[in-house]
Amino acid sequence: MTSQIRSSTRVVPITREEFHGRFGAPDLGGALCGYTREADTAAVLTLLCHARPARILEVGTALGHMTANLTRWSSEDAKVFTIDLVRGMPRAAAGAAEQLDEVPTLAERGRFADHFGTVQKAFFITADSLGYDFGRLAPLDFAFVDGGHDFAHALADSRKSYDALAPCGWLVWHDFGSPVPWVEVRQAVEAIGFAEPVIHIEGTEVAFLQKQAPAGATGSAAVHDGPVRVAWDGDVRGLHSLGLVNRAIASELLARGLDLALADDGPPPAGDEGTDTPLDPGLAERLGREPSGGPAQVHVMHRWPPGSNFEPRARRVLMQPWEYGSLPRAWLPLLAAADEVWSYSRSVRDAYLRAGMPHGRVHVIPLGVDPEAFRPGVEPLPLPPGPRFRFLFVGGTIFRKGIDVLLDAFPRAFGPDDGVGLVIKDMGVGTFYRGQTAGDQVAALRERGYPVEYLTRDLAGPELAGLYAACDCLVHPFRGEGFALPVAEAMACGLPVIATAASPVTDYADDATAYLIPARPCEFSENRVGEFETIARPWLHEPDRDALVDLLRRVAADPQAARRKGAAASERIRGRFTWSHTAEAVERRLRALASLEPRTGRRFEPRMNTDKHRWGEGFRDGGTGGGWHVGRAGGPGAAPGGRQAGGVSGSPDPVLVSYPCESVSIRGSKSPGPIRGAAKAQVSLTMIVRDEEENLPRCLGSVAGLFDEVVVVDTGSRDRTAEIARGVGARVFDFVWVDDFAAARNAALARARGDYAFWLDADDVVEPEERAKLERLLVSLPADESEQAAYVVRCACDPEPDGRGGNTVVDHIRLFPAREGVRWTYAVHEQILPSLRRAGVPVRWSDVTVRHTGYSDPALRGRKLERDARILEAELAERPGDPFVLFNLGSIAVERQAWPRALELLQRSLSGSAPSDSITRKLFALIARCRQMLGDLPRAIAACDEGLSFFPDDSELLFRKAVAHRGSGDPAAAEASWRRILGLRRPEEFASVDQGIFGHLTRRNLAALAEERGDLAGAMEHWRAVLAECPGDAEAMGRVGGLVEAAGP
Q: State pLDDT tens for residues 305-334.
A: 888 788 888 999 999 999 998 899 888 888
pLDDT band per the 50, 70, 90 thresholds, residue 632: very low
In a domain, 246, yes or no: yes
Q: Which of 594, 623, 658 is the last residue of a domain?
A: 594
Burial annotation 677-699 (CB, 10 A radius, 16+ → b, else e): eeeebbbbbbbbbbbbbebbbeb
Give the model confidence (pLDDT) of 819-867 as tens digits: 877 999 998 999 999 889 888 899 999 999 999 987 556 777 788 888 8
Q: Which of 852, 877, 903 is the last residue of a domain?
A: 852
pLDDT recorded at residue 771: 93
Give the model confidence (pLDDT) of 819-828 as tens digits: 877 999 998 9
Question: Rounded mean pLDDT of the chain?
Answer: 82
* Helix or strand holding residue 411 (H, E): helix 403-413
Greatest alpha-carbon pair distance for the chain in Å reads 113
Regarding whether 820 and 897 lie in a shared domain, the answer is no
Give the model confidence (pLDDT) of 427-453 as tens digits: 876 665 666 678 888 889 999 999 999
Structural domain of residue 48, as residue ranges? 11-210
In a domain, 642, yes or no: no
Regarding whether 240 and 180 lie in a shared domain, the answer is no
Burial annotation 116-132 (CB, 10 A radius, 16+ → b, else e): bbbbbbbbbbbebbbeb
In the three-class reduction of DSSP (H, G, I as helix; E, B as strand; rest coil), residue 393 is classed as: strand
- In order of 125, 279, 890, 937, 989, the CA distances from 960 in angstroms are 51, 66, 18, 11, 18
In the three-class reduction of DSSP (H, G, I as helix; E, B as strand; rest coil), residue 475 is classed as: strand
Q: What CATH number should be reported for the domain holding residue 235? A: 3.40.50.2000
In the three-class reduction of DSSP (H, G, I as helix; E, B as strand; rest coil), residue 1021 is classed as: helix
Which amino acid, residue 219? G
Contact call for residues 848 and 770 (beta carbons, < 8 A): yes
Reported in sequence order, the residue ranges of 544-635 that DSSP labels E, i.e. its strands, are: none
Which amino acid, residue 206? V
In a domain, 63, yes or no: yes
Regarding whether 301 and 176 lie in a shared domain, the answer is no
In a domain, 634, yes or no: no
Regarding whether 62 and 81 lie in a shared domain, the answer is yes
In a domain, 152, yes or no: yes
∠ CA 777-783-785, rounded to 5°:
110
Q: How far apart are CA 421 and CA 385, in angstroms?
A: 10
Task: Pick the more confident residue, 783 or 59.
Answer: 59
Alpha carbon 131 to its chain centroid, in Å, reads: 39
Regarding whether 73 and 55 lie in a shared domain, the answer is yes
pLDDT band per the 50, 70, 90 thresholds, residue 374: very high
Regarding whether 504 and 589 lie in a shared domain, the answer is no
In a domain, 652, yes or no: no
Q: Inform me whether the pLDDT recorded for 675 exceeds 70.
A: no
Regarding whether 360 and 410 lie in a shared domain, the answer is no
Q: What CATH number should be reported for the domain holding residue 932? A: 1.25.40.10
Q: How far apart are CA 1030 and CA 1012, in angstroms?
A: 23
Contact call for residues 622 and 599 (beta carbons, < 8 A): no
pLDDT band per the 50, 70, 90 thresholds, residue 503: confident
Task: Pick the more confident residue, 548 or 27.
Answer: 548
Give the model confidence (pLDDT) of 1013-1036 as tens digits: 999 999 999 999 999 988 888 888
Regarding whether 865 and 848 lie in a shared domain, the answer is no
Regarding whether 283 and 248 lie in a shared domain, the answer is yes
Regarding whether 407 and 361 lie in a shared domain, the answer is no
Q: How far apart are CA 696 and CA 719, in angstroms?
A: 12
Regarding whether 906 and 811 lie in a shared domain, the answer is no
Of 738, 742, 745, the closest CA to residue 64 belongs to: 738
| Mean predicted confidence (pLDDT) in 136-157 | 86
Q: Which residues contact 1002 (CB under 8 A, 6 or more apart)?
A: 959, 978, 981, 982, 996
Q: Inform me whether the pLDDT recorded for 620 exceeds 50.
A: no
Give the model confidence (pLDDT) of 698-754 as tens digits: 999 999 889 999 999 999 899 999 999 988 889 998 887 878 898 899 989 988 989
Contact call for residues 109 and 736 (beta carbons, < 8 A): yes
Contact call for residues 756 and 816 (beta carbons, < 8 A): yes
pLDDT band per the 50, 70, 90 thresholds, residue 94: very low
For the CA atoms of the chain, what is the radius of gyration?
A: 31
Regarding whether 983 and 841 lie in a shared domain, the answer is no
- In order of 184, 489, 885, 888, the CA distances from 869 in angstroms are 42, 38, 10, 8
In a domain, 510, yes or no: yes
Q: What CATH number should be reported for the domain holding residue 44? A: 3.40.50.150
Alpha carbon 240 to its chain centroid, in Å, reads: 29
In the three-class reduction of DSSP (H, G, I as helix; E, B as strand; rest coil), residue 492 is classed as: helix
Number of domains the chain contains? 5
Q: Residue 601, exposed/middle/buried by CB under 10 A (0-12, 13-18, 19+)?
A: exposed
pLDDT over 90, % of the chain: 46
pLDDT band per the 50, 70, 90 thresholds, residue 813: very high
pLDDT band per the 50, 70, 90 thresholds, residue 931: very high
Q: Which of 183, 210, 237 is the last residue of a domain?
A: 210
Contact call for residues 663 and 645 (beta carbons, < 8 A): no
pLDDT recorded at residue 279: 82
* Helix or strand holding residue 836 (H, E): helix 833-838
In a domain, 641, yes or no: no
Q: How far apart are CA 465 and CA 486, in angstroms?
A: 10
pLDDT recorded at residue 1049: 64
What are the backbone dihedrals phi and psi of residue 195, each rounded to the nearest 5 degrees, phi first? -70, -35
Q: How far apart are CA 828 and CA 664, in angstroms?
A: 29
